[in-house]
Structure 1
Amino acid sequence: MSRVSTSVPNGLLPDVQATKILMRLLAIPGLSGAESKVVDFLRQELSQAGVAASALKIDSANRRSSLGGETGNLVLRLPGNIRAPRRLLVAHMDTVPVCQGARPVQRGRRIESKDKDTGLGADNRSGVGVLLTTALSILRNNIPHPPLTLLWTVQEEVGLHGARHVRLGLLGKPKLAFNWDGGAANSLKIGATGGYRMDIEISGIASHAGGHPEQGVSAIAIASLAIADLVNNGWHGLIEKGSQCGTSNIGVIRGGEATNVVTESVCLRAEARSHNSKFRERIVREIEKAFRKATKQIRNSSGKLGSIQFSGQLDYESFRLPLKDPSVVAASQAIKSEGCKPDLGIVNGGLDANWLTAHGIPTVTLGCGQKSIHTVKEWLDLEEFHQARRIAMRLVTEVK
Structure 2
Amino acid sequence: MNRDVVEHLFLSLVQIDSHSLHEGAMAERCRKELVDLGFHVVEDEAGTALGGETGNLIAVLPGSPDRPKVLLAAHMDTVQPGQGVRPRVDEAGVVWSDGTTVLGADDKAGITAILTALREIRERGIEHGQIQVVLTIGEEIGLQGAKQLSRDHLDADFGLSLDSSGDIGTIAIAGPGQAKFEATITGVRAHAGVAPEKGISAIKVAATAVSNMPHGRIDDETTANIGSFVGQGPTNVVADKVTIVGEARSRNPEKLSRVMSQIESAFQEAARSAGAQVAFQHQVMYEGFDFPETAPLRQRIERAIELAGFTPKPVKVGGGSDANVIQTLGVPILNIGIGYEDIHSTNEHIALQNIIDAAKVAVQFCALP
TM-score (norm 1): 0.85
Distance 1:209 1:101 in 2: 50
CA distance in 1 between counterparts of 2:68 and 2:352 reads: 31
CA distance in 2, matches of 1:34, 1:16: 28
2:265 matches 1:296: no
- What does residue range 354-373 of structure 1 map to in structure 2 within 5 Å? 354-373=324-343
Greater mean alpha carbon deviation, residues 186-195 or residues 316-325 = 316-325
Q: Is structure 2 residue 173 aligned with structure 1 residue 190?
A: yes
> How far, CA to CA, are the matches of 2:17 and 2:276 in structure 1?
44
User: Per the alignment, do residues 261 and 51 of structure 1 end up closer, same or farther by CA in structure 2, a change over 3 Å counting?
Assistant: farther
Match of 1:148 in 2: 131
Q: How does 1:238-253 map to 2 (within 5 A)?
A: 238-240=217-219, 245-253=221-229
Q: 1:36 Cα shift?
A: 2.1
Report how far residue 138 of structure 1 moved.
4.2
Aligned to 1:181, which of 157, 163, 176?
163
Match of 1:37 among 25, 43, 62: 25
Contact 1:317–1:355, Cα closer than 8 Å, also in 2: yes
CA distance in 2, matches of 1:221, 1:381: 50
Q: Which amino acid in the other structure matches residue 347 of structure 1? A: V
Measure, in 1, the Cα distance between the counterparts of 2:102 and 2:311: 30
Report if aligned partners of 1:199, 1:268 keep a CA contact under 8 Å in 2.
yes
Q: Is 1:69 aligned with 2:52?
A: yes
Q: Distance in 2 between matches of 1:253 and 1:121?
A: 31
Q: Per-residue deviation at 1:332?
A: 1.1
**1:181-218 Cα deviation digits (max 9, x unpaired):** 12222111122111111111122222333343333222
Change (3 A) 1:211 1:71: farther
Q: Pick one of 99, 112, 118 that aligns with 1:129.
A: 112
- What percent of counterpart residues are identical? 33
Tell me how large the CA RMSD over aligned residues is: 2.3
Unaligned segments of structure 1, at least 5 residues: 1-11, 299-304
Counterpart secondary structure, 1:205: coil
| Aligned equivalents of 2:24, 2:231: Cα separation in 1 | 34
Deviation at 1:39, TM superposition (A): 0.8
Matched letter for residue 178 of structure 1: L
- The number of residues matched between the two structures is 367
Deviations 1:261-302 (A, max 9, x none): 32222222110111111111111111111112222343xxxx
Describe the shift of the 1:63–1:202 C-alpha distance in structure 2 as closer, same or farther (beyond 3 A). Answer: farther
Aligned residues of 1:236 and 1:247 also touching (Cα < 8 A): yes
Q: What letter matches 1:153 in structure 2?
A: T
**Helix, strand or coil at the partner of 1:188:** strand
Matches within 5 A, 1:301-320: 305-320=275-290
Contact 2:37/2:118 (<8 A) preserved: no
For the pair 1:279 / 2:255, whether they are aligned, the reply is: yes
- Aligned with 2:244 (options 244, 265, 268): 268
Asked if 1 retains the 8 angstrom alpha-carbon contact of 2:174 and 2:251, the reply is: no
- For 1:46, give the aligned amino acid: L
User: Which of 321, 343, 346 does residue 313 from structure 2 map onto?
Assistant: 343
CA distance in 2 between counterparts of 1:325 and 1:50 reads 31
Q: Where does residue 368 of structure 2 map in the other structure?
A: 399
What TM-score, normalized to structure 2? 0.91
Q: Tell me, yes or no, if the aligned pair for 1:219 and 1:264 is still in contact at 8 Å.
A: yes
2:362 alignment partner, SS class = helix
Distance in 1 separating the partners of 2:215 and 2:81: 26
Deviation at 1:68, TM superposition (A): 4.3
Q: What secondary structure sits across from 1:97 in the alignment?
A: coil
The answer to whether the 8 A contact 1:256-1:264 is kept is: no
Unmatched runs of 5 consecutive residues or more in structure 2: none
Residues 380-395 of structure 1: matches in 2 within 5 Å?
380-395=350-365
Give the counterpart of 2:230 among 254, 258, 262: 254
Pair 34,211 (structure 1): closer, same or farther in 2 beyond 3 Å: farther
Q: Give the CA deviation at 1:163.
A: 2.6
Equivalent in the alignment of 1:110: 94
Match status 1:237 vs 2:222:
no
